[in-house]
Structure 1
Amino acid sequence: MSIRVAIADDHPALLAGAEQVLAKVPDVTIMGLASDSTQLVELLGHQVVDVVVADFSMPQGRYGDGITLLRFLRRRFPQVRLALLTSAENPQLLRGAMDVGVSAIVSKADHYDCLEEAIRAAYANRTYLSPHARQLVDQAEVEDAKSGAAHLSKRESEVLRMFAEGLSLTEIGERVGRSPKTISTQKLSAMKKLGLRGDRDIFQYAITNGLIQASQASRKDATSADEDE
């Protein structure tokens, strides 16, 4: 029986590359290609698909991207298995994707031949991580074991969310009725608890936990945000 697959990626060359690799697999049938979440959802609404292979960050789509899109796909198409094809280097993001139902993850740092095994694993509802993705996740688990679990207060979580949305420390302070210095202290406290080293890590944390969409973070300039500190 053929495994029916849909592929979604906003980079035409990567989309074509994935299609070319999977077209050579005898029992995989490519049902369609999509360059954003709008096209992907329309495709799934008209075609019977067993496995979706999706990029994590796909701006412009009506249904968002990142964790937001993955959660939506799980709700709207619960019978469809999810596999992720991503260039993300943040292990928290990868683990967040698995937490919302992604069965298989292929890093774009690995060979696209990993896609075949990822699709078979997703179709069978088994977990699969390509070599580089596995290395990232294993390393994070070791670091977590050393540092212990971290829990943010409600205010710390709110500060990170608003910062990831692009608000300055002053703007956040005005919203919650606190001074910029207090907001800065809460931001730094949250970063220390989570082991985040910079503003780009904050954006990745916000994506992983569904606080913002992946495309929102990709439009932020983390370097300029540093100036608020």
Structure 2
Amino acid sequence: MSIRIVIADDQAMVRAGLKLVVESEPDMEVVGEAPDGVEAIAVVRRTKPDIVLMDISMPRMDGLTAAKQLLGQPESPKIIMLTTFDTDENLYTALRAGTSGFLLKVSPPEQLVDAIRVVIAGDALLDPAVTTRVIASFAGRHDPAPPPQLADLTPRELEVLRSLARGLTNSEIAGKLFVGEATVKTHVARVLMKLHLRDRAQAVVFAYESGVVRPGAAVG
């Protein structure tokens, strides 16, 4: 089954280039295009894609606003934000909204393809260094009170949440905890379910904003 993709960008040449890259893969297809956020929402509702490649800066409605509206609906697609600059405030806003990450427009074609596969696999496009910098700038401005839903996590699930926030992969978490990757996936799924989070990206934001992990803390 093909990975269904919608491309939203106000530049026709950019859309054409992204489409060329995507459709060079045998298991990917572009099912719709949009030049602005308003049209992107309409196209997504009509075509029901798996992933949206969403430009941040577009006329009528910007990509972040469109992403928030889409992610607030049931059975929403995964969204990868496309940008020219990885501005901290945009990154933070997008992560809080539940997008699966960012990709620079200057990224090589193979990185775009890899990003789509990573997101489809259920992971997030989170560079640990970038994530820590972003969260430190915004979430670290106050001393948060622990959210009540943290009490629902077991000690092992809390440890998994901390590892996610520090950018560790399932494989790295498995090695750290001396368990199999399948066990880690189960723990991750339970963490997301108990905290009512969409994916790993939101788990990272939650962990920093709730004080589970603090900016500057060492990975251990």
TM-score range, shorter chain: 0.5 to 0.7
Q: 2:133 aligns with which of 133, 140, 147?
A: 140
Counterpart amino acid of residue 22 in structure 2: L
User: Structure 2 stretches of 5 or more lacking a match?
Assistant: 143-220
Aligned CA distance change for structure 1 residues 66 and 110 (closer, same or farther; 3 Å):
same
In 1, the alpha carbon distance for the partners of 2:90 and 2:134 equals 13
Closer, same or farther: CA 14–52 of 1 in aligned 2, 3 Å:
same
- In the superposition, relative to structure 1, how do residues 72 and 93 fare at CA in structure 2: closer, same or farther (>3 Å)? same
**Equivalent in the alignment of 2:30:** 30
TM-superposition CA deviations, 1:154-176 (whole Å, max 9, x none): xxxxxxxxxxxxxxxxxxxxxxx
CA RMSD of superposed structures (Å): 2.6
CA distance in 2 between counterparts of 1:87 and 1:119 reads: 18
Separation in 2 of the partners of 1:148 and 1:103? 18
Q: Within 1, Cα distance between the matches of 2:15 and 2:128?
A: 25
Larger relative contact order (C-alpha < 8 A, sep ≥ 6)? 1
Q: Confirm whether residue 150 of structure 1 aligns to residue 141 of structure 2.
A: yes
Give the 3 Å change call, closer, same or farther, for CA 8–123 of structure 1 in structure 2: same
What is the aligned partner in structure 1 of residue 84 from structure 2? 87
Q: CA deviation at 1:33?
A: 1.0
For 2:198, the equivalent position in structure 1 comes to: none
2: CA distance, partners of 1:81 / 1:116: 14
Give the distance between the partners of 2:129 and 2:90, measured in 1 at CA: 10
Distance 2:103 2:134 in 1: 18
Structure 2 residue matching 1:103: 3-state secondary structure: coil
SS at match of 2:79: strand
Deviation at 1:82, TM superposition (A): 0.9
Q: Find the aligned partners of 2:34 and 2:56 in 1 and give their Cα distance.
A: 13
**Separation in structure 2 between the aligned mates of residue 40 and residue 75 of structure 1, nearest angstrom:** 15
Return structure 1 stretches of 4+ with deviation > 6 angstroms.
Answer: none
Which one has a bigger Cα radius of gyration?
Answer: 1
CA distance in 1, matches of 2:98, 2:139: 25
- Distance, in Å, in 2 between the alignment partners of 1:11 and 1:124 is 29
Judging changes above 3 Å, is the alpha-carbon distance between structure 1 residues 94 and 141 closer, same or farther for their aligned structure 2 residues?
Answer: closer
Deviation at 1:74, TM superposition (A): 0.7
Number of residue pairs aligned between Structure 1 and Structure 2: 142
Alignment match, 2:57:
57
Q: In 2, Cα distance between the equivalents of 1:148 and 1:95?
A: 9
**Aligned-pair distance for 1:122?**
2.0
2:54 touches 2:63 (CA, 8 Å); kept in 1?
A: no
Amino acid at match of 1:94: L
In structure 2, C-alpha distance between the alignment counterparts of 1:77 and 1:128, rounded to whole Å = 22
Output aligned runs, 1:1-229, within 5 Å: 1-60=1-60, 64-76=61-73, 78-129=75-126, 134=127, 137=130, 140=133, 144=136, 149-151=140-142
TM-score (norm. length: structure 1): 0.55
Alpha carbons 1:104, 1:119 under 8 Å: kept: no
